[in-house]
Structure 1
Amino acid sequence: MVWYYGRRSTKQHIQGKPIRFNYKLWPATTRNGYLISCEPYQRVKSAQSPYQEYGLGTAVVLLMKSCLPVQLAPYNFYFHNLFNSLTLVNIVDEHGNGATGTIRNNRLAKCSVTEAKLLKTGARGAFSFTTDTNLLIVTFATNCHNITPMQKVDRVASVNNKRTNLSKLFIVLSDVQSGIDRFDKNLNSMRVELRGKKWRFALFAFGLEATCHNAIIKTI
């Protein structure tokens, strides 16, 4: 999200976010938070790309993927459930790349996995999964990770409030999805203090902040 304090009809509202009313950008970053590209949310116009037949979320990811250099392939992509679908995972897999992301229940295409709301009624750490030749579906879908290895974590049980060791999937414990969180965190520490009256200044300031952030990450 891009900070903006003025009045503008194109601003977005996301409940529960630190910046609830501002411009929304969909960024693509590396694992350490380096910004590769970003796509501003433009409502219906956001899906106007060569991939618009697959829907908004898939179209945005495939458009950003097309900007990456082919000589550095294959890539492993990780995305939010807003974008993820079985269609997207299959398309990325056809291009020889890895794809992993949390997935919503209405995009599972009737796969034989237990719904998340039913799993919440069971013991903490319970999970359900199904697998195909190249596809594993739990509460996320992936074509480049397996159900093993399992790792032990220390958590508080929801029944007796006592600490216990639970088995967690390795992919759940990994930090591969934290690149965008690191980018947002770093950007908050280097905000442009000036505030312009025009709506364009907010996007201009974001460009300066992102450029400085990438320069710092590149030298680390």
Structure 2
Amino acid sequence: MSKENLEEFAYTSIIRLILENHFKIGDFLLETELSKALDLSRTPVRHALGQLVAEGFLDKKKKKGCFIPPVSSEDARHVFFVRKNIEGLTASSAARHATDEDIDFLWGLIKEEKELYQNFSKMDYVNINMAFHMGIARISQNKYLEKYCRHSFCRSHTYIFFYDDYYTGALVSGIQETSPKQHIQIVEAIENRNEEKAGNLMRQHVRTTFEQLFVKL
């Protein structure tokens, strides 16, 4: 396996361990323990942890290592406020710049998302949902929007992984219907090159996610 593949495997495996409740908020994720658990050398694990810190999903303390950051209602408001506005801009820009190939890519993700109703897993949905949001950021053709979109998206998932009904197991059958329906509406607006509507729909989508979580914080 190549260096890049090892790092990708370490990255996705660490996220999977978090989804499977091997860690809780405030826990440190130690290189040595993760290397043994994943049967990897420390190098790809170290790089994966560094990527998760850079993306905002983990924090790091000098001489102590990487840890899942604490949460609060105030921090959640700040995170989702930033994410809502940045992703609104990415969706508007995507509606302006999207090619036919870009539209086909987004509809392909929508098709995969629908199939999760019959055969779903948390990790599958993490991957598709991230591909959808980061795909729109890429289509925006603004490297700064894409960079900050990824950071706020990943930071928000500290809350989503630990409080969203789908990821906590409180939702016992299928994935929640809100996100797939809103994703479809966003893609339709992008396909129709309606910048204002695409931005508004994306902001509403992120706001809905926050409102569903906030009552549990």
Relative to the length of structure 2, the TM-score reads 0.24
Which structure: greater helix fraction? 2
Return the structure number with greater relative CO, CA threshold 8 A, min gap 6.
2
Relative to the length of structure 1, the TM-score reads 0.24
